[in-house]
Amino acid sequence: MTCFWDGIISSLEMDDLKILGLDQRPSPKLLAFSLKKINKKTCSITWENMKLSENQLAENHIHISDYTSESINGGYLCSVCDPFLCLLCEILKCNVTHFYLNNPMRYKFPNSMRTIEFKSDRGHFWKK
Protein backbone atom coordinates (compact mmCIF):
# COMPACT_ATOMS: atom_id res chain seq x y z
CA MET A 1 0.00 0.00 0.00
CA THR A 2 1.67 3.17 -1.17
CA CYS A 3 -1.38 5.46 -1.16
CA PHE A 4 0.36 8.16 0.93
CA TRP A 5 3.22 8.39 -1.55
CA ASP A 6 0.94 8.01 -4.57
CA GLY A 7 -1.21 10.90 -3.32
CA ILE A 8 1.82 13.15 -3.01
CA ILE A 9 3.19 12.07 -6.40
CA SER A 10 -0.13 12.87 -8.10
CA SER A 11 -0.06 16.38 -6.63
CA LEU A 12 3.40 17.29 -7.93
CA GLU A 13 3.79 19.74 -10.80
CA MET A 14 6.82 19.88 -13.11
CA ASP A 15 8.38 22.73 -11.09
CA ASP A 16 7.93 20.67 -7.93
CA LEU A 17 9.80 17.77 -9.51
CA LYS A 18 12.73 20.07 -10.29
CA ILE A 19 12.79 21.36 -6.71
CA LEU A 20 12.87 17.74 -5.52
CA GLY A 21 15.78 17.00 -7.89
CA LEU A 22 13.66 14.79 -10.14
CA ASP A 23 13.19 14.93 -13.90
CA GLN A 24 10.05 12.79 -14.06
CA ARG A 25 7.31 11.40 -11.83
CA PRO A 26 9.07 9.22 -9.27
CA SER A 27 8.20 5.87 -7.83
CA PRO A 28 7.06 6.00 -4.19
CA LYS A 29 10.47 4.70 -3.09
CA LEU A 30 12.32 7.37 -5.09
CA LEU A 31 10.07 10.12 -3.71
CA ALA A 32 10.77 8.99 -0.13
CA PHE A 33 14.51 8.87 -0.91
CA SER A 34 14.39 12.38 -2.44
CA LEU A 35 12.57 13.81 0.58
CA LYS A 36 15.06 12.16 2.93
CA LYS A 37 17.90 13.69 0.91
CA ILE A 38 16.39 17.21 1.13
CA ASN A 39 15.30 16.77 4.76
CA LYS A 40 15.61 19.88 6.93
CA LYS A 41 13.88 21.52 9.85
CA THR A 42 10.64 23.16 8.75
CA CYS A 43 11.06 26.44 10.60
CA SER A 44 9.04 28.56 8.16
CA ILE A 45 5.74 26.75 8.31
CA THR A 46 2.84 26.84 10.70
CA TRP A 47 0.48 23.99 11.47
CA GLU A 48 -3.02 25.02 12.50
CA ASN A 49 -1.71 28.62 12.75
CA MET A 50 1.00 27.68 15.26
CA LYS A 51 4.75 27.55 14.84
CA LEU A 52 6.22 24.15 15.59
CA SER A 53 8.26 23.90 18.78
CA GLU A 54 12.00 23.21 18.62
CA ASN A 55 11.27 19.75 19.96
CA GLN A 56 8.68 19.06 17.24
CA LEU A 57 11.04 20.37 14.55
CA ALA A 58 13.79 18.05 15.79
CA GLU A 59 11.46 15.04 16.07
CA ASN A 60 10.13 15.62 12.54
CA HIS A 61 13.66 15.84 11.16
CA ILE A 62 14.65 12.59 12.90
CA HIS A 63 11.45 10.85 11.75
CA ILE A 64 12.28 11.56 8.11
CA SER A 65 15.98 10.73 8.52
CA ASP A 66 15.14 7.40 10.13
CA TYR A 67 12.39 6.46 7.68
CA THR A 68 13.25 3.28 5.82
CA SER A 69 11.85 3.09 2.31
CA GLU A 70 12.16 -0.70 2.40
CA SER A 71 8.87 -0.71 4.32
CA ILE A 72 7.15 1.53 1.78
CA ASN A 73 4.81 -1.19 0.45
CA GLY A 74 3.55 -1.90 3.97
CA GLY A 75 1.82 1.49 4.14
CA TYR A 76 2.61 4.73 5.92
CA LEU A 77 0.74 5.94 8.99
CA CYS A 78 0.25 9.63 8.31
CA SER A 79 0.12 11.55 11.58
CA VAL A 80 -1.99 14.57 12.49
CA CYS A 81 0.96 16.95 12.10
CA ASP A 82 2.89 14.78 9.69
CA PRO A 83 6.65 15.31 9.25
CA PHE A 84 6.58 14.55 5.51
CA LEU A 85 3.68 16.96 4.90
CA CYS A 86 5.52 19.61 6.92
CA LEU A 87 8.62 19.06 4.80
CA LEU A 88 6.65 19.12 1.56
CA CYS A 89 5.08 22.43 2.57
CA GLU A 90 8.51 23.90 3.43
CA ILE A 91 10.38 22.65 0.36
CA LEU A 92 7.68 23.52 -2.20
CA LYS A 93 6.81 26.79 -0.43
CA CYS A 94 3.14 25.93 -0.62
CA ASN A 95 0.25 25.42 1.74
CA VAL A 96 -1.03 21.91 2.41
CA THR A 97 -4.50 21.07 3.66
CA HIS A 98 -5.02 17.49 4.80
CA PHE A 99 -8.62 16.48 5.40
CA TYR A 100 -8.63 13.51 7.77
CA LEU A 101 -12.19 12.16 8.05
CA ASN A 102 -13.27 15.56 6.66
CA ASN A 103 -11.46 17.46 9.44
CA PRO A 104 -9.02 19.93 7.86
CA MET A 105 -5.47 20.28 9.14
CA ARG A 106 -3.64 23.22 7.62
CA TYR A 107 0.08 23.54 7.01
CA LYS A 108 1.01 27.03 5.82
CA PHE A 109 4.07 28.55 4.24
CA PRO A 110 4.26 32.37 4.60
CA ASN A 111 2.69 34.26 1.69
CA SER A 112 2.09 31.13 -0.39
CA MET A 113 -0.54 31.44 -3.09
CA ARG A 114 -0.77 27.69 -3.76
CA THR A 115 -2.50 25.01 -1.70
CA ILE A 116 -2.26 21.27 -2.23
CA GLU A 117 -5.17 19.32 -0.76
CA PHE A 118 -5.19 15.73 0.42
CA LYS A 119 -7.87 13.56 1.99
CA SER A 120 -7.57 10.45 4.09
CA ASP A 121 -9.63 8.07 6.14
CA ARG A 122 -8.55 5.34 8.51
CA GLY A 123 -6.95 3.32 5.73
CA HIS A 124 -6.22 5.44 2.66
CA PHE A 125 -4.69 8.75 1.58
CA TRP A 126 -5.21 10.55 -1.74
CA LYS A 127 -5.00 13.89 -3.53
CA LYS A 128 -8.27 15.75 -3.24
Find, among 68, 73, 105, 86, the residue nearest to 3 by Cα.
73
pLDDT given for residue 66 in this prediction: 96
* Residue in 79, 86, 8, 81 with CA at minimum distance from that of residue 45: 86
Q: What is the pLDDT of residue 69?
A: 83
Q: Answer yes or no: is pLDDT of 124 > 90.
A: yes
CA distance 82 to 71: 17
Give residue-wise pLDDT tens across range 49-81: 999 999 999 999 999 999 998 889 889 999 999
pTM of the model: 0.96
